[in-house]
Amino acid sequence: MIEGADPHLEMGALYELSLQKAVPPVLLFPQDQGFSGRPSRRRATCALRACSMTAPASSWCRTIASTGASIPRRSASECVDDGPVLDNVLMDNEVDMLAFPAPKWHGNDGGQYIGTECMVIAQDPDSDWVNAGTYRVSVRDKKTLSIFIEPGKHADLIRKKWWARGEHCPMVVSVGQAPALGAAGGGDRAGACLRVRRRRRADRAGRSSSCAAASPACRSRTMPSSSTRASCPRPQELTMTEGPFGEWPGYYTSCGPEPVLQVKAIYHRNDPIQCATPPARPIYPGTYFGTAGSALIRAAALWDDLEAAGVPGIKGVWKMPGGGSRFINVIAIEQLHAGHAKMAGLVGGRLRVEHLSRPHHHHRRRRHRHHQSGAGDVGGGDALGPQDRDRHHRRRVDRP
C-alpha cells in the first residue's frame, strides 16, 4: 500500500519500477477524493491476492486447458437485483467523473486514463450477445469519457450496429470488477463467464438499460466497485481527439478523433477499489493471471486450439507475458516424428488471430443461436466469435 502517490505520472512510474521484479507486487494507492480512501482490509486483501496469482507454472496452464476454462461457456452464475455497487447511484447533475482518480500513467499520454483494467459492456442490438471487453478509456470532463476501440474488436462491431440504426450505443464501463473478470474481459476468451442481467427490451430501446453483473465465485466481492453507464454517439455526431497513449507493444500510439461516451449514471460501492493495469514496455510482464490480457489464459487457450487442430504430443504452452502476451509463444512437444516441431510452430503461429474478429461472425452466430439461448454470455474484448465457441462446445462434447 502506497499512500500519497500522485496520480499524475508518479503512480505510473512506481508501477513501471515495480515491474522490474520477477514477481511484481500488486500496488494499492489509497486516494482521498471524498471517500475514506481506505477499503476494508478484507476487500483489499481479496483484490491483491487475486491480482498477484502470477504462477507461470505450466501446471496452471495445463489445468486451465484441460478443464476447458479457457473456453467461453455459461457457468453457474446468479442474477441479483441488488449489490454493493448500488451503494451509491449518481444520476444527472450528480454525475462527476472528475471525482474519481484517473491517472496520467505515462509522460506522453494525451489524457487521464481511468480505464486500463476495465470491462466495457455492450449488447448486440440483434441478439442476446452481451460482450465485455477491455478498451482504453480516459476522462475528458465531468460527463464525458473518451474510448478507443480498434476497428474489428467486438465492441466496435456492436457499436457500429447501433450507429447504423441511427442510435447511440449504450455501454457500461466497469472499472472495479473482480480481477478474474478483468482477465476475462481482456482475454481472447472468457476465462470466467458472467451473466449480465438486462432490463426489458423496451428499457433498452429507451437507453436506460442497466446492468448488474455477478459471478458465483465470490458474490459480494465480484460486484464491480464502480461502474459507469453511458451512451456512445455516432462519430458523425461527436468525436474528440484521443491519445496518444503508451500501449502494450511498447510504443505510444498516434492520436486522432475517436467516439466518446456520454455518462448518464455512475454506480459505486462505498470506498470503491478501481483496478488498473497501464501497459508497459515489453518485456516487462504487465499481464499476469489476474489482469487483462492474462498470459496464462491466453496460453491455455492456445493449448486448447493446438490440440483441436490435431497437433499431438504437446507437453507445455506458454506466452511471454510482456507485450500484451501476444508476441512470443513457446510450445513444448514430445517429438513424435520428423517435422513435428515445425508443424507445431506453423500451426501455433496461425491459430490465435487476436486482433480481429471474424468478419462472418454475425451470420454464423445467428445460425447457431440455439446454442446460446438465455442470458448473454460475456466474451473477451478480443474474444473469438461465437462460431468459435460453438466449435469448442462441440469438441468438448466429443472429449472422453
Cβ atoms 286, 105 nearer than 8 A: no
Residue 96 in the binding site for another protein (CB under 8 A): no
Binds another protein by CB under 8 A, chosen from 9, 53, 99, 238? 9
Q: Which is nearer to another protein, 29 or 100 (CB)?
A: 29
| Cβ-based burial of 382 (10 A; exposed 0-12, middle 13-18, buried ≥19) | buried
Question: Any residues with CB less than 8 A from the CB of 65 and at least 6 apart, and which?
Answer: 300, 301, 303, 304, 307, 317
Q: Which is nearer to another protein, 24 or 84 (CB)?
A: 24
Q: Which is nearer to another protein, 16 or 382 (CB)?
A: 16
| 12 half-sphere exposure, CB direction, 13 A CA radius | 23
Binds another protein by CB under 8 A, chosen from 37, 256, 312, 339? 339
φ, ψ dihedrals at 131, nearest 5°:
-105, 140
Report residue 362 CA to chain centroid gap: 21
Q: How far is the CB of 252 from another protein (least distance, A)?
A: 5
Q: How far is the CB of 179 from another protein (least distance, A)?
A: 19
User: Which of the ranges 70-78, 143-151, 331-339, 385-393 carries the binding residues for another protein, by CB under 8 A?
Assistant: 331-339
Residue 281 in the binding site for another protein (CB under 8 A): yes
Cβ atoms 75, 189 nearer than 8 A: no
Return the residues of window 290-329 that contact another protein according to CB under 8 A.
Answer: none
Question: Any residues with CB less than 8 A from the CB of 230 and at least 6 apart, and which?
Answer: 145, 170, 171, 172, 173, 261, 262, 263, 264
Binds another protein by CB under 8 A, chosen from 2, 44, 48, 99? 2
Q: How far is the CB of 386 from another protein (least distance, A)?
A: 33
**Backbone CA torsion sign across 259, 260, 264, 265:** positive
φ, ψ dihedrals at 107, nearest 5°:
-55, -35
Residue 24 in the binding site for another protein (CB under 8 A): yes
Count of chain residues binding another protein (CB under 8 A): 33
Binds another protein by CB under 8 A, chosen from 253, 277, 287, 329? 253
Look-up: residue for cell 481482456?
Answer: 186
Q: Which is nearer to another protein, 216 or 339 (CB)?
A: 339
Q: How far is CA 184 from CA 4, 38, 141, in A?
A: 31, 27, 29
Cβ atoms 186, 276 nearer than 8 A: no
Q: How far is the CB of 183 from another protein (least distance, A)?
A: 22
Q: How far is the CB of 344 from another protein (least distance, A)?
A: 12
Q: How far is the CB of 278 from another protein (least distance, A)?
A: 9
Q: Residue numbers of the site for another protein (CB under 8 A)? A: 2, 5, 9-10, 12-14, 16-18, 20-21, 24-25, 106-108, 246-247, 250-254, 279-281, 335, 337-341
